[in-house]
Amino acid sequence: MVRLGVPERRFYQLLAAVLSDYMKKHPQMSERFALFSLFRPQIIRVVLNPVKLTWPDLDGGSRMLPNYLEDLQNPLWLVTQEYES
């Protein structure tokens, strides 16, 4: 992003503003937006590298599952907190 002239923090500020505006303009979709919780404080870090995928042992499924690591601070949440503090 910085290579394109947009610092990372500014990118997430712009993204948060666009998402918030869209959500306000489409209140009929509020239940759908709630499913994704885009502005929650923590988000799941998922490793999508195929080597890190694991086979599910408990559900007897034949699909591979991603390796979940520790949660990350959500950059969308972080930039919205800057305005509230």
Along the 85 residues of the chain, how does pLDDT read in single tens digits?
Answer: 667 789 999 999 999 999 999 999 999 999 999 999 999 999 988 766 655 555 555 555 556 666 666 789 999 999 999 766 5
SS3 3: helix
Q: List beta partners, residue 54.
A: 65
Provide the whole-model pTM.
0.69
Distant-in-sequence, close-in-space partners of 7: CB < 8 Å, separation ≥ 6 = 1
* C-alpha to C-alpha distance for 24 and 4, rounded to whole angstroms: 29
> End-to-end CA distance of the chain, in Å?
26
